[in-house]
A and B are shown apart, each in its own frame.
Chain A
Amino acid sequence: METIKLARARTLAGLAAMLLGSAAWSGTALAQGVSNPTTGVATANTNAANATADTNAVTANAAGRGQNNNSGGASSRAPTDPGVRGGDPGAGGALPGLNDVERQYFDVAKEVFQEVDAAADGLGPRFNLDSCSGCHSQPSIGGTSPATNPQVAVATLMGAKNVVPSFITANGPIREARFVRNRDGSPDGGVHSLFVITGRSDATGCNIAQPNFAAELARNNVVFRIPTPVFGLGLVENVSDGTLEASLAANAQQKRALGISGRFNRNGNDGTIARFGWKAQNKSLLLFSGEAYNVEMGITNELFQNERDSDPACQFKATPNDSTPLVSENTASPSASFQNDIDLFAAFMRFSAPPTPASAAAAPVAQATGASNVTAGQTTGTATGASTTSSSASTASGATSTASSTASTVVASATADVSSVMATAAGSSTAQPSSSASSGASVTRGNQVFSNVGCQACHTKTFTTEKSPLTGQSNVTLQPLSDFALHEMGVGLADGVSQGTANGNEFRTAPLWGVGQRIFFLHDGRTKDLHEAIQQHASRGSEANAVINNYNLLSRDDKQALINYLRSL
């Protein structure tokens, strides 16, 4: 038996030596630190009715929270986020393999998802935006917050007199605001819509006021969420609870060596795993749709039938505003003609293909050493890194599938051609071409780094769907890069909002598929920089602290490779 018990004197000698060594080293040691994040955010898709504030959680605004005193990432050593990957969005189309009837249904659903609603459609009286696709638009319909925030324009649309709250900016993320506590100190946690229809030309007679956001901000009582992308969620919906549970248990020993545990947010009615929304608070895509329609747009429906503000002077359509049509609406899909909006929203999500990663050789990368340069490469259309595709796998997003209905089809690992890259990297980065070989090597290395430091312990790579009623969607492998479990994320990310069994510090592991084309990161969109987003995972009480410590121990080249890999997704 090996014994590690050594003489104490020897230990101290070693420690003293380390001290001396580090002093000698200090002349070349690079400074360590972490920059403050920008505060931000908003979102959709949350359960206002069920949300309650966690009185034990941090309630302050995001500003100044989440300091990680061990970031080890001095600015001179920090990797460069090359920014949003350009080229084909690789998302927004239908699942490969669907038959013609299913594709017609999807196409109609996608149109309805893009409809802009007015007061006569039931909009408001309180709302955050007037369409689904307004929030879910980056990099294509079904995505997340776009570069230009449409909430600024909608504030005064049709003569409305809304004041744009200070946390809404033209170039910032779309935001949903929640108050942590009520005025009497009791838990709130619900969504407080930003705007009212008062003053709009289609809402004559309505005279309600916006919440006093300035006062609530002054009380540090406002938290934010941004829209979550909805691509590929039908596949997620079709992963069994048993598969998710087995996945969480499969790498339990690795997680335990990293300070990670995790648990699921379970539905209170039937005990099954809820998996949608920032806190996995929504059980199904239909619930997700119905809630967002009422909470974000103020449109009541057959799941959420009652107006959140029932002032009779502000109602311009019978409730529920959205109901099942009993007469055909004559859409291109006979089935869709008899569906209410929330069913079609859910169908759009359920039938939509997951994001398509760039091939390793095509991914935008910043140089691993020296100046931060954004590079653009040409794609080869091959599979990414270790991801495997079956011979029957789909082509790029939105393309007609060649998969058979019985074969196992790998969807999420198919690759897209990327011909250009947006030069939106942080700092003074300049776009320039580089060899696809070096791009591919960096992305491949980044994939390895992702697994080695422990990111994949929670951002689980692969699941397989159950038997599906949709054509070609049974036994499909998906790579959402999430375990769909809740994890304690510390005071730095805590929003103080409890939903289902999720407390104010817990969040669902955010799926990272498509992250290469997202602009804003974390639940409140506080940063546009992936390195910063990674650092924000660490704070007092976070399960991610050890993984972030591992990240900070990496060489700059490997940090850069990880960022490049993420931008290839």
Chain B
Amino acid sequence: MRVWLYLGIAVCLAGIGAVLHGTVPSSQDSKIVQSANPEDGKVIKGVFVSDYFNLSYRLSDELTEGLAGPPPSQSGYYVLGTWTPKRDFAGTVLVVAQDMFFAPGASDDVKNVVAEFRQVMSAVDGMTIDREPAPVSVGGHPGYRIDFSGVGLFRAMFAIEIRCHVVAFNLTSRDPESLASLARSLDSLDSARKEEMSDPVPECLKDYASGNIVSRVEPEGVGAKAVSIPARMIVATDGSVKHVHVIRASAAQRRNIEEAVRQWKFKPYVKQGQPVEVETGVMFNLKPTSM
């Protein structure tokens, strides 16, 4: 009875304009802490809040949190959240992030990432590109949108760049109308905190660890396997390491890397004559302790 759906939409559109302020959690609820990490986002009172990305995303009452995704990957890939409709299974929202410090492949910014994505998807048998990649602004962040469809699924990806991560909102639905509705839900994207209450966001520089480390302590290897472990770190204005985020590792590997990196000393980063905090990444290749 699709006609009832459209009738419902018409009725609601006619009468609802004013219902809506004050439901996003206050900035105190999500006060920035520089120890926040990309995977630490959570849903608070119906709003997905990521302190790291400084994002809040009000979820439609129609949506409910889906199954949690996998842990962060060895290449710095995160599944931040999944949402699915509570009732009719009409569409989904998947929010992911890729750390561009550790991303495999040549694409190094959001424009190239979306262009590469378009190329891959257009090669899929039966897939149609419905909307070529075009600039958009989501929550005040510039990015790109691409729409595509195939086998009765209508999809869109909105990709933006924050702190040297490409954050992508992947929308999937059974029909274009539902896709448009999901796209409108991104209108609720906002900052999670007020600037005056936040520490300044560090400057992200991919290769700052190359040539700017004054003193470096190597972490001890753990186990018999050679593994690559990505880590991000925030360098304070005095060159000390303020925060270490070991993205994927065992507990022992994590501990060893954190202990070592906290002893590192960098050259302070100066921008326009002022010392500025820097966020950078290092891929550790821990050597086996026994072979």
A residues sitting closer than 8 Å to B (CB atoms) are 1-29, 32, 68-70, 72, 248-254, 256-259, 261-263, 266, 268-269, 271, 386, 445, 447-449, 451-453, 487-488, 490, 500-501, 505, 538-543, 545-546, 549-550, 552-555, 558
Shortest distance between the CB of A238 and any CB in chain B (Å): 24
- Residues of B near A20 (CB, < 8 A) are 5, 8-9, 11-12
Q: A18-B60, A541-B71 are in contact. Are A256 and B1 (CB under 8 A)?
A: no
Shortest distance between the CB of A203 and any CB in chain B (Å): 37
B44 at the interface (CB under 8 A from A): no
Our pick among A72, A258, A541 for the contact of B68 (Cβ within 8 Å) is: A541
B26 at the interface (CB under 8 A from A): no
18 contacting pairs across A/B (C-beta < 8 A) = A4-B187, A12-B16, A14-B12, A19-B62, A24-B4, A70-B84, A253-B113, A256-B98, A259-B82, A448-B125, A453-B151, A490-B70, A501-B225, A540-B67, A546-B94, A549-B94, A549-B172, A553-B173
CA distance A554 to B7 in the complex (A): 25
* 121-160 of chain B: CB within 8 A of chain A: 121, 124-127, 134-140, 142, 145, 150-153, 157-158
Task: Flag if A251 contacts B120 (CB, 8 Å).
Answer: yes
CA distance A11 to B152 in the complex (A): 25
Report the nearest A residue to B146, measured CB to CB.
A257
Shortest distance between the CB of B187 and any CB in chain A (Å): 4
For the complex of A and B, 8 pairs with smallest distance between CB atoms: A24-B4, A20-B8, A21-B5, A261-B73, A488-B70, A17-B9, A17-B12, A72-B89
CA distance A255 to B168 in the complex (A): 12
Task: Flag if B60 contacts A15 (CB, 8 Å).
Answer: yes
Contact with A along B50-63 (1 / 0, CB 8 A): 00000000001110
- Residues of A near B225 (CB, < 8 A) are 266, 268, 500-501
CA distance A558 to B68 in the complex (A): 26
Task: Flag if B16 contacts A26 (CB, 8 Å).
Answer: no
CA distance A422 to B236 in the complex (A): 69
- Residues of B near A12 (CB, < 8 A) are 16, 19-20
- Residues of A near B9 (CB, < 8 A) are 14, 17-18, 20-21
B21 at the interface (CB under 8 A from A): yes
**18 further A-B pairs in the complex, CB-CB below 8 A; given A20-B12, A542-B70, A546-B94:** A4-B184, A5-B187, A8-B187, A22-B62, A25-B1, A25-B88, A27-B1, A28-B1, A70-B89, A252-B105, A254-B117, A257-B168, A259-B69, A259-B79, A268-B288, A448-B125, A553-B174, A554-B153
- Residues of A near B197 (CB, < 8 A) are none
Report the nearest A residue to B137, measured CB to CB.
A3
B77 at the interface (CB under 8 A from A): yes
Task: Flag if A553 contacts B91 (CB, 8 Å).
Answer: yes
Report the nearest B residue to A447, measured CB to CB.
B125
Task: Flag if B4 contacts A253 (CB, 8 Å).
Answer: no
Residue among B121, B134, B150, B187 with the highest chain A CB neighbour number at 10 A: B187
Task: Flag if A268 contacts B291 (CB, 8 Å).
Answer: yes
Query: B-side binding surface: helix, strand, loop or mixed?
Result: mixed
Our pick among A4, A253, A541 for the contact of B138 (Cβ within 8 Å) is: A4
Q: A8-B187, A256-B168 are in contact. Are A543 and B69 (CB under 8 A)?
A: yes
Shortest distance between the CB of B100 and any CB in chain A (Å): 12
- Residues of A near B21 (CB, < 8 A) are 8
Residue among A14, A19, A258 with the highest chain B CB neighbour number at 10 A: A14
Task: Flag if A29 contacts B87 (CB, 8 Å).
Answer: yes
- Residues of A near B170 (CB, < 8 A) are 257-258, 546
Task: Flag if A550 contacts B8 (CB, 8 Å).
Answer: no
Task: Flag if B151 contacts A558 (CB, 8 Å).
Answer: yes
Report the nearest B residue to A248, measured CB to CB.
B104
CA distance A2 to B226 in the complex (A): 47
Contact with A along B222-264 (1 / 0, CB 8 A): 0011110000000000000000000000000000000000000
Task: Flag if B68 contacts A2 (CB, 8 Å).
Answer: no
- Residues of B near A448 (CB, < 8 A) are 125-126, 150-151
CA distance A445 to B60 in the complex (A): 34
B280 at the interface (CB under 8 A from A): no
- Residues of B near A18 (CB, < 8 A) are 9, 60, 62, 181
Our pick among A24, A261, A269, A487 for the contact of B5 (Cβ within 8 Å) is: A24
CA distance A11 to B8 in the complex (A): 15
B212 at the interface (CB under 8 A from A): no
Task: Flag if A259 contacts B104 (CB, 8 Å).
Answer: no
- Residues of B near A5 (CB, < 8 A) are 137-140, 187
- Residues of B near A256 (CB, < 8 A) are 77, 96, 98, 117, 168
Our pick among A21, A29, A386, A449 for the contact of B151 (Cβ within 8 Å) is: A449
Contact with A along B183-221 (1 / 0, CB 8 A): 111111000000000000000000000000000000000
Our pick among B17, B74, B87 for the contact of A263 (Cβ within 8 Å) is: B74
B33 at the interface (CB under 8 A from A): no
Q: A256-B96, A549-B82 are in contact. Are A452 and B153 (CB under 8 A)?
A: yes
B66 at the interface (CB under 8 A from A): yes
Report the nearest A residue to B20, measured CB to CB.
A12
Task: Flag if A451 contacts B124 (CB, 8 Å).
Answer: yes
* 261-288 of chain B: CB within 8 A of chain A: 288
